[in-house]
Amino acid sequence: MTAPTVDGRWIRWTSPAGDAGVQFDAFATQQPNPTLATWTVWAGPNLDRATWTLTASPYTPSSLLADLSENLAHATGTRQAQAAGRERRTSLGTTPPAIPAVNADAAVSRTRQA
């Protein structure tokens, strides 16, 4: 993440490539208005034209947001688009794992304590 920028009530951090970031709304933390997002994590061309956003309340732990933002910023920068002509295959296992055999001849011993 780059150094934060301050724009009025917002503090913003963006990835070095500028394709992901985090925004903190200082005004929203002081207002009991549930429609204002305190934290916005985004990815896309910019915050106003984001491909996706994730919003969080002031009760969200900052450590969670920091870890999530760092992982998303790194993943966004390294993601590769698939070629249009490539076939995508998914291999699903259809055979369940073997269940261990139980010896039916084994005697079960129980003791009763008085």
Highest mean pLDDT (candidates 22-36, 42-56, 70-84) = 42-56
Backbone φ and ψ for 66, nearest 5 degrees, come out as -65, -45
3-state SS assignment for residue 49: helix
Look at the pTM and tell me if it is higher than 0.85.
Answer: no
Please check the confidence at residue 87 and state whether its pLDDT lies above 90: no
